[in-house]
């Protein structure tokens, strides 16, 4: 998959360069260094590049891959990335330490229906997990989901055995009976759900902050490096115009968007359609509301919850990292 993806990206880059020679209205193509991965939060950025939307606005995207959000955040800190999507938990960890090198400029999507807590046959409710083994990747959105729903069910810390297992290993662990339940995100989530007899106990819609603020345990956020944004404000706006054109494609033509993503993600068409249609892709017109309304209040509550569950040391003032001027 890696070789195919590299080949695909190289071909896209060549096409972008060729198109730049005849761009109308832009003196020269400008480059944005994007921090990405095959995770669905990066779909708009990839499609904007692959479908030529960025080229239309005179931008060449230098796609840089990172295995984790924390690695991507390190690149923001060092100046290696200009724009990128990250899980909010990794961003909050740096914000809690006072890092000001980046700002939140958009909310890509809500993926609450493609991650959740799944249990083996015979376990019917979250309350049944008392005394059971639960596999989850520590310091992830699913980890926070598990801690929250266990608390809602009246299960105290230590009354369930929460084990740290990498996402790709969760399917095998529950299949072989090493654990009784697993919390995972797509595609691992979908793979576990296909096992005979397993039951979905909770997805992000059962997360306490989703019920009040529509905030999932670890929503994706689109970030910009502040120094880059100060020097290239007009470029960031043009970037977002292409980015949200790709979001529109995901929302309005999911089959076409899924077909265009297959080489990028390595998923089957069925899996790809499930990931695309299982997420709510926010349009550009909704961004002001998200960045200035109760969603940000929910992010603040999320930061405070992370402190409560000892995931970060202190809660940052989240609104200090919000910049709605580009949408």
Q: Is there a single domain that holds both residue 194 and residue 225?
A: no
Residue 238 included in any domain = yes
Q: What is the pairing mode between strands 109-110 and 280-281?
A: antiparallel
* Average pLDDT of the segment spanning 222-226: 98
8 A C-beta contact, residue 116 and residue 207: no
Report pLDDT for 309.
87
Q: Are 64 and 34 in contact (CB under 8 A)?
A: yes
Number of domains in the chain: 2
- In 3D space, the residue among 142, 137, 195 whose CA is nearest the CA of residue 167 turns out to be 137
Which domain, by its residues, includes 160? 115-213
Cα pseudo-dihedral 80, 62, 252, 40, rounded to 10: -50
Residue 99: inside a domain, yes or no? Answer: yes
Do both 236 and 315 map to the same domain? yes
Res 1 pLDDT > 60: no
Domain assignment of residue 292, yes or no:
yes
Do residues 244 and 305 both lie within one domain?
A: yes
Residues 98 and 235 in one domain: yes
Phi, psi of 87 (to 5 degrees): -70, 140
* 3-class DSSP assignment, residue 7: helix
Question: What token pair was written down for 253?
Answer: 């033509």
Is residue 221 located within the same domain as residue 286? yes
Domain assignment of residue 15, yes or no: no
* Helix 141-152 with 294-308: angle, nearest 10 deg: 80
Give the C-alpha separation, 274 to 282, whole Å. Answer: 17
In a domain, 208, yes or no: yes
213, 240, 270 - which closes a domain: 213
Take residue 143 and report the two structure tokens written for it. Answer: 């980890």
Q: How far apart are CA 109 and CA 204, in angstroms?
A: 13
Q: Torsion over CA of 104, 115, 208 and 305, rounded to 10 degrees?
A: -50
pLDDT top residue among 278 and 103: 103
Band of pLDDT at residue 16, cut at 50, 70 and 90:
very low
- Helix, strand, or coil (residue 127): helix
Domain end call among 164, 186, 213: 213
23 has pLDDT over 60: no
pLDDT above 90 for 257: yes
Claim to verify: residue 209 and residue 225 sit in the same structural domain: no
Tell me the C-alpha distance between 238 and 57, whole Å: 6
Domain of residue 277, CATH code: 3.40.190.10
Single residue among 213, 236, 255 that ends a domain in this structure? 213
Q: Where is average pLDDT lowest: 33-42, 66-75, 277-286?
A: 66-75
* Integer Cα distance of 57 and 69 in angstroms: 28
pLDDT (0 to 100) of residue 221:
96
**Which residue(s) pair with 199 in the sheet?**
119
Residue 20, in any domain of the structure:
no
pLDDT (tens digit per residue) in 279-307 = 999 999 999 999 999 999 999 999 999 99
Cα–Cα separations (whole angstroms), residue 63 to 32, 33, 38, 219: 8, 6, 11, 22
Model pLDDT, residue 180 = 98
CB 274 within 8 A of CB 91: no
- pLDDT over 70 percentage in the chain: 92
Residue 41: how many other CB atoms lie within 10 Å = 21
Q: Is a pLDDT exceeding 90 seen at residue 191? A: no
The overall average pLDDT reported for the chain is 90
């Amino acid at each position: 998959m890696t070789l195919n993806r590299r080949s695909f990206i190289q071909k896209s880059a060549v096409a972008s360069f060729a198109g730049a020679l005849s761009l109308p209205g832009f003196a020269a193509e400008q480059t944005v260094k994007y921090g990405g991965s095959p995770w669905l939060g990066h779909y708009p950025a990839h499609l904007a590049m692959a479908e030529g939307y960025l080229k239309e606005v005179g931008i060449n995207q230098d796609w840089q891959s990172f295995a984790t959000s924390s690695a991507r955040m390190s690149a923001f800190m060092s100046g290696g990335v200009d724009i990128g999507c990250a899980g909010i938990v990794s961003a909050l960890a740096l914000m809690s330490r006072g890092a000001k090198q980046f700002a939140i400029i958009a909310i890509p999507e809500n993926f609450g229906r493609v991650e959740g807590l799944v249990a083996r046959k015979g376990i019917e409710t979250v309350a049944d997990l008392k005394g059971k083994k639960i596999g989850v990747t520590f310091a992830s959105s699913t980890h926070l989901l598990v801690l929250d729903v266990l608390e809602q069910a009246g299960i105290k810390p230590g009354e369930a055995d929460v084990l740290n297992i990498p996402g790709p290993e969760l399917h095998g662990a529950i299949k072989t009976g090493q654990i009784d339940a697993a919390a995972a995100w797509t595609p691992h989530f979908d793979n576990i759900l296909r096992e005979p007899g397993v039951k979905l106990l909770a997805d992000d819609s059962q997360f306490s902050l989703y019920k009040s603020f529509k905030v999932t345990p670890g929503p994706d956020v689109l970030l910009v490096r502040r120094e880059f944004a100060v020097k290239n404000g007009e470029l960031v706006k043009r970037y977002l115009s292409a980015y949200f054109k790709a979001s529109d494609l995901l929302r309005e033509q999911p089959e076409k968007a899924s077909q265009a993503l297959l080489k990028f993600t390595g998923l089957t068409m069925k899996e790809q359609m499930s990931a695309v249609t299982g997420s709510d892709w926010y349009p550009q017109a909704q961004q002001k509301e998200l960045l200035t309304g109760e969603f940000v209040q929910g992010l603040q509550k999320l930061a405070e919850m992370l402190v409560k569950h000892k995931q970060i040391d202190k809660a940052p003032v989240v609104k200090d990292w919000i910049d709605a001027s580009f949408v």
